[in-house]
A = this chain, B = another copy of it.
């Protein structure tokens, strides 16, 4: 009873292996500062649950396969405020950004096709691409250069007859790197010149701390090539809603996505109703949330820069930071922190870097920190990390 080759090439979450050790540490009375996962602690707007509570139908029916029209309209309205006009038929509501990614990969990848992805990248891209039979062709970047990747020299040599798309996260997870206006334009040009899809995951678009966000959606000449991946998860701190969207003016691609959407029937009805209400929150919500994350970003960057021999690039957006530590193996360091270290009964968890890379051996000295704790706790957590690193280096 063997499994498929593609599922064997997928991985269990690399964070999972630390779980039993974290439980054991907690059982010894150790408090763990969790910087390892991107679950925000920001309150979900009440509008979500209020809208659901107002549901009055007797039968909880299937929603239309491409999404409830009023939610699609809300997404259109959101993009209109960014100056981008989408038709209702350009939008397919999905079960989280995750399903939008899966539908895209299924629609464009055949066996052994390649997707160019700057590394480090969001690890679940790997699984969605593998499920469709494809593989990641990584664009290497380095911490010292702020993980920048958007240049012809880095990308064009990777394009071959198997390449189908360039997939980017802007602002970046795990790096916080923000593309300039010129870089977005360049990526669009490369995609057009080589007949590739440009898949833009901009789910952290609201969280920009320096510079200007250039949304690829605004590029009018990219109708055929551009696929936008959207989600309410981070935008409205509503990760558990599992509402996202696949957006493209490419009619053929949308038809492919709709085939899948029809097969899985619909996205959860009440969550769509809740998500629609989220799009009505006051813009002050975004401002307040952004300022909160900016405070955390500032703490995180300052504290990490103070640690000797650590390389960090200041994140310009999202709520993650990569850091290169003066160690050989971040997984070994994580095990040390869970099994052999505490500072006043506290320790810390992060996401080891190698899970964010496709290149064998890359990222082993790096860690990803999610700054999803309040600034005060973050100060303390990073002190604990620094002390842990000192102890680890003295062994």
Question: Is residue A252 contacting chain B, with contact meaning CB distance below 8 A?
Answer: yes
Say whether B52 contacts A240, CB under 8 Å. no
Contact residue among B65, B224, B242 (Cβ-Cβ distance under 8 Å from A268)? B242
Say whether B250 contacts A10, CB under 8 Å. no
Q: Smallest Cβ distance from A268 to chain B, in angstroms?
A: 4
Q: A53-B53, A95-B242 are in contact. Are A110 and B5 (CB under 8 A)?
A: yes
- In the complex, what residues of B have CB within 8 A of residue A371's CB? none
Closest partner residue, chain B, to A133 (CB atom): B133
Question: Is residue A262 contacting chain B, with contact meaning CB distance below 8 A?
Answer: yes
Say whether B270 contacts A132, CB under 8 Å. no
Say whether B58 contacts A7, CB under 8 Å. no
Contact code string A270-282 (vs B, CB < 8 Å = 1, else 0): 1100100000000
Q: With A and B bound together, what is the CA distance between A135 and B214 in angstroms?
A: 43
Contact code string A173-210 (vs B, CB < 8 Å = 1, else 0): 00000000000000000000001010000000000000
Chain A interface residue bracket vs B: 35 or more
Copies in the complex: 2
Q: With A and B bound together, what is the CA distance between A56 and B242 in angstroms?
A: 18
Q: Smallest Cβ distance from A246 to chain B, in angstroms?
A: 13
Closest partner residue, chain B, to A255 (CB atom): B12
Contact residues of A between 257 and 273, Cβ < 8 Å to B: 258-260, 262-271
Contact residues of A between 79 and 109, Cβ < 8 Å to B: 95-96, 98-99, 102, 106-109
Q: With A and B bound together, what is the CA distance between A110 and B4 in angstroms?
A: 5
Closest partner residue, chain B, to A131 (CB atom): B106
Q: Smallest Cβ distance from A163 to chain B, in angstroms?
A: 13
- In the complex, what residues of B have CB within 8 A of residue A259's CB? 7, 10-12, 127
Say whether A111 contacts B133, CB under 8 Å. yes
- In the complex, what residues of B have CB within 8 A of residue A1's CB? 195, 197, 224-225, 250, 252-253
Question: Is residue A393 contacting chain B, with contact meaning CB distance below 8 A?
Answer: no
- In the complex, what residues of B have CB within 8 A of residue A52's CB? 49, 52-53, 270
Closest partner residue, chain B, to A7 (CB atom): B256
Say whether B12 contacts A63, CB under 8 Å. no
Q: With A and B bound together, what is the CA distance between A59 and B124 in angstroms?
A: 23
Q: A43-B59, A59-B44, A263-B10 are in contact. Are A269 and B256 (CB under 8 A)?
A: no
Question: Is residue A39 contacting chain B, with contact meaning CB distance below 8 A?
Answer: yes
Say whether A60 contacts B107, CB under 8 Å. no
Say whether B252 contacts A266, CB under 8 Å. no
Contact residues of A between 37 and 67, Cβ < 8 Å to B: 39-44, 48-49, 52-53, 55, 58-63, 65
Closest partner residue, chain B, to A49 (CB atom): B55
Contact residues of A between 141 and 169, Cβ < 8 Å to B: none
Q: 18 extra interchain contacts, Cβ-Cβ under 8 A, other than A6-B110, A7-B256, A270-B270?
A: A3-B253, A4-B106, A4-B109, A4-B132, A40-B59, A42-B59, A44-B58, A48-B60, A49-B53, A53-B53, A60-B238, A60-B241, A98-B265, A106-B131, A128-B263, A239-B265, A239-B266, A242-B269
